[in-house]
Chain A
Amino acid sequence: MKEILRLEHVSKSFVGVKAMQDISFDLRAGEVHCLCGENGAGKSTLIKVLSGAHQPDEGSIYFEGQQVTLTPHLALGLGIQTIYQEHIVFDSLSVMENIFMGLEVARGGFLDRSEMRRQTVEVLQYLQADIGPETNMGRLSSGQQKTVEIAKGLVFKRKAIILDEPTASFSAAEIDNLLEIIKTVRASGIGIIYISHHLDEVFRIADRVTVLRDGRKVSHYEIQGLTKTQLIKDMVGRDPSTFYRREAVNIGEVVFEAHHVSGNGVRDVSFELRRGEVLGFAGMTGSGRSELMEVLFGSARLDGGQIRIRGKEVRHASPKASIRNRMCFITEDRQNTGLFLEQTIASNVMVANMVNTRDFFASPAEDVKVGDGFIQKLLIKARDAKVRVMNLSGGNQQKVVLAKWFNTSGEVFIFDEPTRGIDVNSKQEIYQLMVGLLKQGHAIIMVSSDMPEVISMSDRVAVMKDGEMVGLLGKEQITEENILTHSIGDKAV
């Protein structure tokens, strides 16, 4: 088979982080080459190097045997198309217009709609996709939208297509459909790089597999003879000495219980949470962890089951009721759901505790005083509490979110991705603050996709898959391998 792309000894660092170290990789025409590895293994960086978004620090890239320096423009010009996880589509335009966006076929200065239409229909028929060329893109399912993006690759005769986590949030039928389409595309001689957390997909479609871990290439296989057990062993096995070491805290009585909780795409989840305990929630993106947290906090509806706080059943009709019941919810998206960016630190700190006070009047001077107190206590780097939150760095913004909740009389804390997008230093500080909560007798539910974080912080780990809790691991059972095995759903390992 003809080689399309080859990376030789490529390294790439970002400020202090070695994202790729000495990685060699190649892609041949008419094959599916799967990239496996956990979050932070270096898959995304590799893709970005191939699509020209990042320039490698060391090493070289060859396209059809010729050494190249890739820019996004050149990569596309050579025929390398990257389809990212997030759909970048024009919802209100048709399928045809989406395919030809920016690359319209024109004759004499006017769009040649019939020609574009002909090509669109031809490709969609070839892919056996039941999508009309004039359909509004926004009306398609995410599976169909992915198909259209792949169709674009065919229309413009791309040579390599990179698919980053294409099946996140897909139904089983959509996954089947997409894999069939990929097989069709492969048969036409295009090389495909396929990234997925779902190992069963990998085994259904891959010709070759490369495993990355901590920015290094761990292994490389032909699919024949490869087992899931071997693949998982290669993906895990990080050096535990790099993990944060958490202080042990005495575990007390049960403070929060979920009995057969259902709703918001989550089914039948039960667990107990004790004072002084961190219950980690692991699982792949789309496994229903954040959705479960929304139900527990009352920002999504509880359809079935029971929630008890301090032994008393609660019906959380709203976040307001949850806060009164001493719950706190540090969401994963601090900019959109956690902070009031254009307001001051003081206003942000005061906002959640308003449901707990009965006064009508509020004093801005008092707000600033409280805010200043938290700046000192949480070591927020800001001149004073009158600074607007939009001017702070990610780590300091996250601390403002924490201050907002610490200012309520919270006892049960839900942390959804507590350290996402935060520098190493602030990460440690946030871990210390979490331990501080435990010492006060509070309890923490922590959702995290950061495996070292889950392992080092949790007393127990619940693993979610497809909206259900598929495992609850005790302290001594918490290993990367165990978590991964449960979240992939292959308990035979």
Chain B
Amino acid sequence: MSDRTPPESKDTQRASIFRRHENLTVTAIFASFVLVIVLLQLSISGGKYPTFISPVNLLNILQQVSVPGIVAVGMTMVMIAGGIDLSVGMLASLVSIVAALGVSKWHLGITGSILAGVATAVVLETVMGFIISRVKVEPFIITLGGMITFQGIALLLCNSREVIMSGELNFIKANLIAGAKDPVTGLNLVIPPYVLVFFFIALLAGILLKYTKYGRRIYAVGNNQNAAFLAGIDVKLMRLSVYAIMGVLVGIAAIMLLARINVGIITLGQGLEIDTIAMVVIGGTALKGGKGNIVGTLIGVFFLGSIGNAMNMLRLPSEVQFVAKGIVIVVAVSAGHVSSAVSELMSRRRKVSVPVTVAEVKQG
């Protein structure tokens, strides 16, 4: 065969470094954000160890992001498969109310209440997944309908009131390292079991997506449904299954949320869908599907979770948090495109300059 390569293949040899390491852009932005906060704290406090990166605060952030983190893991899978789920927030509220009622009113016992809550989420998500995979209506609309419906069911169940518990789920937030002190601040260090649950789920999902045939099929379905079908993939089953998994994860997350707050109430999951979708897209998952990974999502989770925390540390009003979060989303998502456009531009310049260099070398 001839040795000449077509022009296209030459371009592939030189993909932008940001594209080759998919999570590099967002990692760089996150790192610079942390650096800015640390420098600000240093300059304000006059050289004292910045509390933002003290062990106790890092563990704090971890506790805050565990619940949305678990849902974000599920959202990553749903979005890679080409879907979206707007209902997770209200579904989490519904689950918390079901579980709280189970404990305090229906006498289902702790295990029974937890199972009832999780089962509710799985059933409802599966129903939505069934509709989405069979009917050609946008997942956006189906899950929007789900969100409103779940809110209604939740309010009916609790008569629009809050369901107060007396700490039956406290074991979920018990401190696994009781007695440990932060050397910086002298405060108690806390690692509750639910943080470990979050890590465990993220690990499982990461393995599922990267190292199993199921994961490969999810990417294939999100990338090109027609080609996936013709390659022997059961597209309907795949689309259904990611919602079923989402059900399990929302169920678990909602129980953890309930354990933290101790009250089943409709506002518990409010805005959860917005936060998790934001975390997932910051992490590089494409809205149109077929692209994304769990490591990126984890970075998105910690990034978004630490913004509010950092604003508190700097004693900025909570309103500023929204502005900062919004800007971060826009920057993180557009940075990938900007960086690849820039690297393309630079490589084009390099190409143009090649003949000059060759000539120079010859002269030299």
Residues of A within 8 A of B (CB): 297, 299, 318-320, 322-324, 329, 331, 336-343, 347, 350-352, 354-355, 357, 359-364, 379, 381-383, 387-388, 391-393, 396, 404, 425, 429
Contact = CB atoms under 8 A, between A and B. Distances in A.
Given A342-B291, A347-B219, A318 B232 contact: yes
B81 to A, nearest CB: 13
Given A351-B228, A382-B9, A391-B12, A343 B233 contact: no
Contact of A362 (B2, B213, B234): B213
Lowest 9 A-B CB distances belong to which pairs? A391-B12, A320-B232, A355-B232, A352-B231, A340-B223, A323-B232, A381-B9, A337-B226, A393-B8
A381 B213 contact: no
A319 B232 contact: yes
Nearest to B14: A383
Nearest to A336: B226
A396 B8 CA distance: 10
Interface of B: 1-2, 5-6, 8-9, 11-13, 15, 210-217, 219-220, 223-224, 226-234, 290-291
B231 A341 contact: no
Given A320-B232, A351-B233, A355-B232, A391 B224 contact: no
Contacts of B210: 364
Contacts of A329: 230
Given A319-B232, A331-B230, A351-B228, A340 B2 contact: no
Nearest to A360: B212
Nearest to B216: A362
Contacts of B216: 347, 350-351, 354, 362
Contacts of A404: 231
Given A338-B227, A341-B224, A351-B233, A392 B211 contact: no
B4 to A, nearest CB: 9
Nearest to A365: B211
Contacts of B212: 360-362
A364 B290 contact: no
A338 B227 CA distance: 5
6 contacts: A320-B234, A337-B227, A342-B291, A360-B212, A362-B211, A362-B212
B18 to A, nearest CB: 14
Contacts of B5: 381
A261 to B, nearest CB: 19
Nearest to A397: B8
Contacts of A336: 224, 226-227
A257 B109 CA distance: 63
A48 B349 CA distance: 35
A336 B226 CA distance: 7
A387 B12 contact: yes
Contacts of A392: 8-9, 12
Most buried by A among B220, B226, B230, B290: B230
A391 B228 contact: no
Contact of A319 (B211, B217, B224, B230): B230
B217 A354 contact: yes
A320 B236 CA distance: 13
A340 B290 contact: yes
A382 B227 contact: no
Contact of B9 (A324, A338, A396): A396
B8 A391 contact: yes
A62 to B, nearest CB: 38
A352 B11 contact: no
A329 B230 CA distance: 8
Nearest to A358: B213
Contacts of A338: 227, 230
Nearest to A357: B213
A382 B220 CA distance: 21
A324 to B, nearest CB: 8
A337 B230 contact: yes
Nearest to A387: B12
A366 to B, nearest CB: 10
B301 to A, nearest CB: 24
Contacts of A379: 1
Contacts of A396: 6, 8-9
Nearest to A359: B213
A149 B205 CA distance: 53
A360 B8 contact: no
A379 B11 CA distance: 18
Given A342-B223, A343-B290, A362-B215, A351 B9 contact: no
A393 B1 contact: no
Given A336-B227, A340-B223, A352 B232 contact: yes
A343 B220 contact: yes
Contacts of B214: 360
Given A360-B213, A391-B11, A320 B6 contact: no
A342 B9 contact: no
Contact of B211 (A320, A343, A361, A393): A361
B13 A343 contact: no
Nearest to B19: A388
Which of B213, B231, B290, B291 counts the most chain A CB atoms within 10 A? Answer: B231
A408 to B, nearest CB: 9
A352 B219 CA distance: 13
A148 B233 CA distance: 41
B9 A339 contact: no
A320 B219 CA distance: 18
A387 B9 CA distance: 9
Given A351-B233, A355-B232, A393 B227 contact: no
A478 B239 CA distance: 47
Contacts of B6: 381, 393, 396
B230 to A, nearest CB: 5
Nearest to A297: B230
Given A360-B214, A362-B213, 4 more contacts: A331-B230, A347-B220, A351-B216, A393-B8
Nearest to B20: A386
A320 B234 CA distance: 8
Contact of A341 (B1, B9, B217, B223): B223
Contacts of B9: 381-383, 391-393, 396
Nearest to B211: A361
A352 B15 CA distance: 27
A431 B8 CA distance: 23
A354 B232 contact: yes
A343 B215 contact: no
Nearest to B5: A381
B2 A425 contact: yes
